[in-house]
Amino acid sequence: MTAGTTHTGGPGGFTRGMRIREALEVHDGAASVFREFRMPCDRCVVVDVDTIESGAALTGVDLDALLARLNTLPREKP
């Protein structure tokens, strides 16, 4: 996770500007959600650079639907 951030996933924890790597690190279920949307982010080389928004745009995924699904993941303990 990026220094200084406290995201723990779950309701409201995932945002459009969050780096994909951070999303994958803050919740174990995030990789499965990305795969549901046909985004194999856990195997991509640009996850350190791309945000959820840019990744969705590059793959033609509905950003709002992706964020809504990510934010249904239960909060994990910090």
Predicted local confidence at residue 10, as pLDDT: 56
Question: pLDDT higher for 70 or 12?
Answer: 70
Identity of the amino acid at 41: C
The pTM assigned to this predicted structure is 0.80
The mean pLDDT of 57-76, rounded to a whole number, is: 93
Q: What is the pLDDT of residues 13-35, one digit of tens each?
A: 999 999 999 999 989 999 999 99
CA dist 58 and 28 (Å) reads: 23
CA dist 72 and 50 (Å) reads: 22
Predicted local confidence at residue 3, as pLDDT: 41
